[in-house]
Amino acid sequence: VTAWHMIERARISAGDRVLVVGASGGLGTLFLQLVRQRGAVPVAVTGNMAHLATFQELGAETVIDRTAGNVVDEVRRLTDGRGMDVVLDPTGAASWTASIGALARGGRYVTCGILTGAEVTLNLAPFYAQEQEVIGSTGGSRRDLVDCFDAIARGTFKFPIHARYPLSGAADAMRALSDPSRLGKVLLEIG
């Protein structure tokens, strides 16, 4: 529901170029699919290119390796200097500078997480001159929940699972969320 609501808040339209930060995470893998289903063009950002084929299978048109160079430079190259219409970033402060730098004029940065930190700085001059937006997103509405469950029931999504842990392994599951080789969800099983 978090991913669904974030996509709604982003106001993604067909043809929009959308940068998906943290593409290997549970939200990132869903963002790729939701963006593609809306007729927009998802571009994945990852630190682990071992998952390239999966990102493409989930809808990514292009995958940027954040460890291989400057993400903003690569975005500008891919978009002929224009930038991204939307950046979906569930990670937080660590990707802030690159995410804001990747936005096109009128672009929208949407976040729902602070995994890598909550405090950032913003130079307002280029931000307001480019008429960009920062949008927060959390949880979702009852309508989002219903729409999301309907889509799941129709088999609309693929859910890559990185690992499963018993409830007694909750601490291990939390550590797995930071595993750089992770692709998809980390699940806690009850019972």
Query: Residue ranges per domain, the chain?
Result: 2-136, 162-191
Q: Which residue has the higher pLDDT, 14 or 141?
A: 14
Confidence of residue 21 (pLDDT cuts 50, 70, 90): very high
Contacts of 186 (CB under 8 A, 6+ apart): 26, 162, 163, 165, 173, 176, 177
Confidence of residue 178 (pLDDT cuts 50, 70, 90): confident
Q: Is 119 exposed, middle or buried (0-12, 13-18, 19+ CB in 10 A)?
A: exposed
- Distance from C-alpha of 67 to C-alpha of 138, rounded to nearest angstrom: 28
The CATH architecture annotation of domain 2-136 reads: Alpha-Beta Complex (3.90)
pLDDT digits (tens, 9 = 90+) for 120-175: 999 999 889 999 999 999 988 899 999 989 998 999 888 888 899 999 999 999 99
**Rounded mean pLDDT of the chain?**
93
pLDDT of the residue at 180: 77
pLDDT of the residue at 191: 80
Phi, psi of 85 (to 5 degrees): -70, -35
Give the mean model confidence (pLDDT) for residues 31-46.
97
- Distance from C-alpha of 57 to C-alpha of 95, rounded to nearest angstrom: 24
Give 184's strand partners: 25
What DSSP line would sit under 85-130, residue for residue?
A: EEEEE-S-GGGHHHHHHTEEEEEEEEE---TT-S-----HHHHHHT
Least confident of 4-18, 74-88, 142-156, 170-184: 170-184
Q: Which residue has the higher pLDDT, 138 or 87?
A: 87
